[in-house]
């Protein structure tokens, strides 16, 4: 199942309504839009495939309201940490409330810029992003900004829709809407310009998404 722009807009509206639901109810239910998205990128399957383990320190780019952050935080556990980055302060405020409701104390939000994640230096075992790369206004500067934050041997994981689905998603978008079609060649080119190399690509592993893993040169 592909999430089209109208479906994404509906999911966003549902998430906005959920913000005003009672805390107890929101802690017990999963928003339908999130459930649909998580079916496309099953968190347990993805996290196992890219090597996320307890104790890791991970920077999540484009964390938003925390759809994947919650799973990442639980996976790394109390000895690990998630730096949840976004350029949307309102979304990050909701994420902080969500973590408080869920009893997660290992998540720290980071308000970044479109060209700089502003993550802590030399602190991360991995940078993770899901459904973010193709939406970036400045993918090369953003990727380059991640380098100083990585520990030796750390990876950058990109989970993004197959190119055909991205093209379909933006076919009805307003004029001037920026996006990147995430082909392997495009990711590899952006990675090289930012000082990274593509070390692994997983095509066909997920039904509607590809996974690209980068490492600093």
126-162 pLDDT tens trace: 999 999 999 888 899 999 999 999 999 999 999 999 9
- Give the span between the Cα atoms of 161 and 89, in whole angstroms: 25
Nearest one of 38, 32, 87 to 61, comparing CA atoms: 87
Higher pLDDT, 169 or 83: 83
3-state secondary structure of 184: helix
- List helix spans (H) across 62-183: 69-76, 89-102, 139-146, 163-171
55-64 pLDDT tens trace: 999 999 999 9
Looking at residue 124, the DSSP 8-state letter turns out to be E
Percent of the chain at pLDDT > 70 equals: 81
3-state secondary structure of 53: coil
Task: Say how many C-beta atoms besides its own lie within 10 A of residue 39's C-beta.
Answer: 11
| Domain 5-12+24-216 fold | Rossmann fold (3.40.50)
- Give the span between the Cα atoms of 14 and 8, in whole angstroms: 10
């Amino acid at each position: 199942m592909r999430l089209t722009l109208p479906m994404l807009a509906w999911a966003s509206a549902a998430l906005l309504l959920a913000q005003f639901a009672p805390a107890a109810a929101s802690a017990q239910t999963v928003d339908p839009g999130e459930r649909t998205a998580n079916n496309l990128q099953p968190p347990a399957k993805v996290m196992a495939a890219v090597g996320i383990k307890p104790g890791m320190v991970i920077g999540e780019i484009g964390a938003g309201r925390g759809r994947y952050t919650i799973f990442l935080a639980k996976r790394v556990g109390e000895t690990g940490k998630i730096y949840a980055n976004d350029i949307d302060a309102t979304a990050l405020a909701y994420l902080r409330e969500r973590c408080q409701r869920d009893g997660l104390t290992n998540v720290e939000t980071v308000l970044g810029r479109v060209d700089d994640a502003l993550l802590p230096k030399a602190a991360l075992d991995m940078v993770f992003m899901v459904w973010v790369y193709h939406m970036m206004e400045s993918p090369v500067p953003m990727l380059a900004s991640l380098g100083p934050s990585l520990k030796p041997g750390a990876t950058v994981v990109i989970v993004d829709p197959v190119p055909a689905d991205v093209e379909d998603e933006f076919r009805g978008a307003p004029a001037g809407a920026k996006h990147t079609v995430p082909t392997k060649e495009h990711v590899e080119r952006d990675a090289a310009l930012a000082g990274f190399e593509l070390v692994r690509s997983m095509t066909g592993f997920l039904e509607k998404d590809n996974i690209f893993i980068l490492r600093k040169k």
